[in-house]
Structure 1
Amino acid sequence: MSKTDFETARIAMVDCQIRPADVTHYNIIEAMLKVPREVFFPEKLREIAYTGEHIQVKNDRYALDPRITAKILNLININESDLVLNVAGCYGYMANILSYFAQAVVMIEESELAKEAERILGEQSIDNVIVKACPLVEGAGDYGPYDAVVIEGGVTFVPDAIINQLKLGGRIVAIFM
């Protein structure tokens, strides 16, 4: 696909998936129109980056459906003074969007995905996201405490280590399986 085709797909994603999902915050819609989702996928998956479904990026890992991403952003209500922990951020798409709203984002991921996310975010000139390779259940206490935590992977519980990194009155969004 050409750059123009991806731009057309991005607009269609917002108009046909995000807006009908009752995501009405203009800043979320604007960010999703600006961020080139396709660059956050390996070359072989870029053509399906804007489909309305989860995309398998590794055997046991998926990038979230854009509607779910938008709903999470809508729920977590990030503001410009927030420090955000993004757990299981795959290649960094959510971290990039969070960076539009937060003071800073710390994204944690497994080593292989973290390296790619750091490269991609650097290419996108995102300077308020730190990528840390570490076990996901540990969080990143060395950068916290956090105003908000976004857990992208499906979980059966939120690890105590991550809960303990949240500021009093902070917010967590997670997808429970």
Structure 2
Amino acid sequence: MEDSYKHQGMRRKLIQKLRDKGIEDERVLSAMGKIPRHVFFENAFLEHAYQDKAFPIGHGQTISQPYTVAFQSELLEVKQGDKILEIGTGSGYQACVLCELGARVYTIEYQKDLYERTRRFLPQMGYKPHFFSGDGSKGILAHAPYDKIIVTAGAPSVPSALLEQLNIGGCLVIPVGDNQIQQMLRLTKESEKKIVKEVFSNFSFVPLKGEQGWQ
């Protein structure tokens, strides 16, 4: 997997653009600066790899806009060794960022073909999260609880299963809204009965599929 000076230069420009747009967590920016985003793209689309935009990857899914990845990663406030559940593996790019930040990553993908492709591809890059295929809207109870949960698809509401699978003191970062626009939420579980909600900017994600998502 080639990572030329040209690629690295394009990546540095992208990271500076994210900084200019308000991303302040230097650990997040450093992690994203290490990941060769172009390897997620076919050669014919390489010029899109370091643009700050989402791009289709098939099966109705996209590789998220870099700013969105940075924004969600910053909200998670990832600490070394955090056990993080990612709902929506997709291309695997977000999972790579979490791995670079030192998290223990559990990631689940609804689309079987996408799961198989990413499960084979990421280890070739040196990233080895725990891969699962299935309904991410229900979380992964067998490996709960988690310190942090990140949802990379738009949900109609907050799945109760995800809050139940959070550790006390943990947080869930999730976009919630309709099929077009969602508000980014951070829900911190202060106790079994107390959830603190913070509301951030509007985003546009592909729909969260599953029992507690869009059917």
Q: Tell me the TM-score normalized by structure 1.
A: 0.89
Larger Rg: 2
Q: Is the 8 A contact 2:57 2:91 kept in 1?
A: no
Q: Is the 8 A contact 2:3 2:36 kept in 1?
A: no
CA–CA distance in 1 between the matches of 2:131 and 2:67?
A: 24
Q: Structure 1 residue 67: deviation in Å? A: 0.7
Question: How many equivalent pairs are there?
Answer: 175
Structure 1 unaligned segments of length 5 or more: list them.
Answer: none
CA–CA distance in 1 between the matches of 2:145 and 2:92?
A: 21
Q: Is the 8 A contact 2:78 2:103 kept in 1?
A: no
Q: Is the 8 A contact 1:83 1:102 kept in 2?
A: no
Cross-structure match for 1:76:
76
1:155 aligns with 2:146: no
**Given the superposition, is the C-alpha separation of residues 2 and 142 from structure 1 closer, same or farther in structure 2, using an over 3 Å criterion?**
closer
**Given the superposition, is the C-alpha separation of residues 84 and 97 from structure 1 closer, same or farther in structure 2, using an over 3 Å criterion?**
same
**Given the superposition, is the C-alpha separation of residues 124 and 43 from structure 1 closer, same or farther in structure 2, using an over 3 Å criterion?**
same
CA–CA distance in 2 between the matches of 1:158 and 1:98?
A: 22
Cross-structure match for 1:31:
31
**Given the superposition, is the C-alpha separation of residues 139 and 12 from structure 1 closer, same or farther in structure 2, using an over 3 Å criterion?**
same
Structure 2 unaligned segments of length 5 or more: list them.
Answer: 177-181, 183-215
Q: Structure 1 residue 59: deviation in Å? A: 4.9
CA–CA distance in 2 between the matches of 1:174 and 1:41?
A: 26
Cross-structure match for 2:40:
40
1:12 aligns with 2:13: yes
Cross-structure match for 1:117:
118
Q: Tell me the TM-score normalized by structure 2.
A: 0.74
Q: Is the 8 A contact 2:57 2:63 kept in 1?
A: yes
Across the aligned residues of Structure 1 and Structure 2, the Cα RMSD in angstroms comes to 1.9
Q: Is the 8 A contact 2:59 2:114 kept in 1?
A: no
Identity over aligned pairs, percent: 23
1:3 aligns with 2:4: yes
Q: Structure 1 residue 89: deviation in Å? A: 2.2
Give 1 or 2: higher helix fraction: 1
Q: Is the 8 A contact 2:53 2:65 kept in 1?
A: yes
Alpha-carbon displacement from aligned partner over 1:73-104 (angstroms, at most 9, x marks no partner): 11110101310001112111111110122440
